[in-house]
A = this chain, B = another copy of it.
Amino acid sequence: MTQSRLDLFVDRMVSQRACLDHAARAIADLPGPVFELGLGNGRTYHHMRHIMPARDIFVFERAVASHPDSTPPVDMVLLGDVFDTLPAALKRFGATATLIHADLGGHDRVKNDIFARNVSPLVEPLLAVGGLMVSSDRMYFERLVEQPLPDGAVPGRCFIYRREA
């Protein structure tokens, strides 16, 4: 039987959580900030705060419209278009990010893929050595290495990449 949109969505959300939980453990001893690309209603940001309470988590968002209990402090939001804010973050932070998460989340697969191709070169230089990128869409990195998925994650619904050196 093929999958419904609800099936795909459940798989994506379950996989997202499994990958984030796994990544948070993997980077536990690595110092450096965490970046969330896109806030939406803030459910995933809320989870990231929950599993990484001591970590600085910066949120990249055009316009904050999240649930009140999942809204980041103003000074932790990098407001604007990611094609501006990601290069600005590279100047500000250098290659220090321990974990970068993105759920592009659009309904249009083709548009998502184009966006992933365009944003990948801006994400790649932000990661520290040993840092991880978790994404709900396939990304296009030159040197990051795709990682095996943790238990509970569904292949194709989530991707993990690592900066090896």
Contacts and interface: CB of A to CB of B under 8 A. Distances in A.
Interface stretch (A4-12, A121-129, A131-139): A4-12
Contacts of A42: 5
Contacts of A17: 6-7, 10
B47 A6 contact: yes
A7 B67 contact: no
A112 interface: no
Interface in A1-24: 1-2, 4-7, 9-10, 13-14, 16-17
Nearest to A16: B6
A25 interface: no
B13 A70 contact: no
A50 interface: yes
How many identical chains are in the complex?
2
A13 B5 contact: no
A43 B6 contact: yes
A43 B107 contact: no
A65 interface: no
A141 B1 CA distance: 35
Interface of A: 1-2, 4-7, 9-10, 13-14, 16-17, 42-44, 46-47, 49-51, 67, 69-70, 107
List the 4 closest pairs (A to B, CB-CB), nearest first.
A6-B47, A4-B47, A4-B50, A5-B46
28 contacts: A1-B50, A2-B50, A4-B43, A4-B46, A4-B49, A5-B42, A5-B46, A5-B47, A5-B67, A5-B69, A5-B70, A6-B13, A6-B16, A6-B17, A6-B43, A6-B46, A6-B47, A7-B17, A7-B47, A7-B50, A9-B13, A9-B43, A10-B10, A10-B13, A10-B17, A13-B13, A14-B14, A67-B107
